[in-house]
Amino acid sequence: MNRILQCNDVSVRFGGVQALGDVHFDAEEGGITAVIGPNGAGKTTLLNVISGMVQQHAGFLIYGGADISTAPPHVRAGLGMVRTFQNLEIFSNMTVLENVMIGCHGRLSVPAWCSLLRTPRSVALERQIREEALEALEFVGIADLAGSTAKDLAFGRQRLLELARALAARPRLLLLDEPAAGLNIAETQHLGELIQRIRDANSLSVILVEHDMDLVMGISDAIMVLSFGQVISRGTPAQVQKDPQVIAAYLGVEED
Amino acid sequence: MQNGYNVAYRRDMFWLAGFFTLLMLAPFCMPNNYYLTILILCGLHAMHAVGLCLLVGHAGQISLGHAGFYGLAAYTSAYLSTTLGLAVGLSMVAGVVLTVLISLLVGLPSLKLKGHYLAMATLGFGIILSILFTETVDITGGPSGFVGIPRLSILGQELTTDIAVYRAVAVVLCLMVWLSFNVLHSRIGRALRALHTSEKAAQAMGVDIARFKLFVFVLSAAFSSISGVLYAHYLTFIAPVSFGFMFSVELIVMVVLGGMVSVPGSIVGAFFVTILPEFLRAFENVEVVLFGAILILCMMFLPDGLAGGWNRLWSRFRRAVHE
């Protein structure tokens, strides 16, 4: 299979702390690649580096064959790399529909003067954005909430909203940062199915950072395990589960 | 639901049509020219308020330097038309263009700052300009002001009466409101509201936040500069006190009073802040105290501004009618 994303020798330091040390990470085209590890392992930092929110101190990133090591976040988004956030970053004062319409921003665009003068082109584009946003809402199953203010939604719905917003951008690579955090078992199961459905329906690739092991083991094609900024294991879910180093990192090592 | 967006836009257009009609009819109920002068000032101030409503209310970028843009445009046009003898129309265009370019230069570095720091940077810029207006006596006439500016003219036709100037100001203001509504009901407006709430998420969704902040900053500076050139050629006399720090604060007060995110609210705020001191003039010594007290009372009882208060009143009225 082709690799949609390659991270080579990525290192990030925050002051004296080595958050990521020489991390190699590949994501397969059309696959769900999970990144797991104990708290503070550097999972979110890796996602931030991939999406361009944190600049790596060393290493480079290849996405779809192009070097994107220094591209700013909005450019990466424009290339079809879209993320969600661990601590929901929804636009709380806007309606649900408007939130999702923002997702179309990078993809569907007219020059500023068209918006300023509200030319027919701008009006037609608005209609298209609106329809596509509604489609995304329907896909995740919250189209009935389109008119509500985003902050009034229940937590689980806000997670779905963030997912819909990301989908509206028609990503090639979807970066999910702990999408199951704060969800109950039923919601998590539903989310797992949804992620697979998203992957199949849009033939996109997913990078999943997650703590919920049932979810990760259930839907991932490949897993990478981080601990203190180092890669300690990688492979299929079955391989990773048996790796003694992974068990040690999660449970600690017994002293003889 | 399907056309909810259009409905909202149409409602704003209805408001604009009503507002324009009101502006056109207002002079007929004016007993004398003094009131017309006040109305013209209201219109000029409302131009700032509309721009700042987009910049401060929607995009969340605080500027305390817009009085500087106001003055820069006014002085540029005054200098070109009076000292250098250029045509009034040409000077006005030059004043606006120069101010827009300066705002671009100021906005590029300072919009990288956030919250209070952006306010400080624009405040510094405003104060520098204010000092320039006062100290460059040879060009601006210094503290005693710039006198003998030719009156407003459009396509070589001088607007000799106040009523003509008033109509011109009303038309320009309504054009600005129209542009603002267009922006707010487009992807640009959505991007501005998004970056206001979360710059991180906006970026992740592909919004080039630096570009959109700069766009709305320059747009609001353009509105302020147009107000500035109209002001200079209407009064034919300008002085540095009109473009000082206090005026920048007053502009922010108009927007806050109007309810931050409402364009009609900001306009009402501008009219309110401009007219109120005229009514309070009878109280002489305590005028400023009363002005301050009224503003405090407004914010205490209308925390979401005049627009928010109006909306609540309106929905209560509608409920009363339904029952």
Cβ–Cβ gap B197/A92 under 8 Å:
yes
Mean pLDDT computed over B89-115: 94
Cβ–Cβ gap B190/A101 under 8 Å:
yes
| DSSP 8-state secondary structure symbol assigned to residue B282 | G
Residue B253 has pLDDT above 50, yes or no: yes
| CB-CB contact of B232 with B148 (8 Å) | no
CA B201, CA B33: separation in Å to the nearest integer?
Answer: 52
Of A176, A178, A152, the C-alpha closest to A164 is: A176
Mean pLDDT computed over B259-277: 94
Q: Between β-strands A58-63 and A3-14, what pairing exists: parallel, antiparallel or unpaired? A: antiparallel
Q: Complex ipTM, two decimals?
A: 0.90
Buried b (16+ CB within 10 A) or exposed e, B245-268: eebbebbbbbbbbbbbbbbbbbbb
Name the more confident of B49 and B7. Answer: B49
CA A82, CA A47: separation in Å to the nearest integer?
Answer: 11
Mean pLDDT computed over B212-230: 97
Among the partner residues B204, B207, B209, nearest to A83 by beta-carbon distance: B204
Name the more confident of A146 and B285. Answer: A146
Going by pLDDT thresholds of 50, 70 and 90, the confidence category of residue B2 is: very low
With a CB cutoff of 8 Å and minimum separation 6, the contacts of A179 are A84, A159, A163, A191, A195, A208, A210
Cβ–Cβ gap B206/A169 under 8 Å:
yes
> Does A149 lie at the interface with B, CB-CB under 8 angstroms?
no
**Chain B residues with CB inside 8 Å of A133's CB?**
none
With a CB cutoff of 8 Å and minimum separation 6, the contacts of A202 are A167, A170, A171
**Element counts in chain A: helices (H) and strands (E):** 10, 10
Residue B4 has pLDDT above 70, yes or no: no
Q: Cα distance from A111 to chain B (closest Cα, Å)?
A: 10
| Residues facing residue A209 across a β-bridge | A35, A177
**Chain B residues with CB inside 8 Å of A92's CB?**
197
> Does A115 lie at the interface with B, CB-CB under 8 angstroms?
yes
**Dihedral-angle region of residue A205 (phi above 0 means left; psi in -120 to 50 means alpha; beta otherwise):** beta
3-state secondary structure of B255: helix
Q: pLDDT truncated to tens, each residue of chain A (256 aa)?
A: 689 999 999 999 998 889 999 999 999 999 999 999 988 899 999 999 999 999 999 999 999 989 999 999 999 999 999 999 998 999 999 999 999 999 999 899 999 999 999 999 999 999 999 999 999 999 999 999 999 999 999 999 999 999 999 999 999 999 999 999 989 999 999 999 999 999 998 889 999 999 889 999 999 999 999 999 999 999 999 999 899 988 888 877 766 6
Of A24, A26, A21, A25, the C-alpha closest to A11 is: A21
Which CATH number is correct for A1-80+171-256, 1.10.260.40, 3.90.1170.40, 3.40.50.300, 3.40.640.10? 3.40.50.300
Which residue intervals of chain A bear CATH 3.40.50.300?
1-80+171-256
Domain ranges for chain B:
4-245
**Chain B residues with CB inside 8 Å of A118's CB?**
182, 185-186
Cβ–Cβ gap B201/A90 under 8 Å:
yes
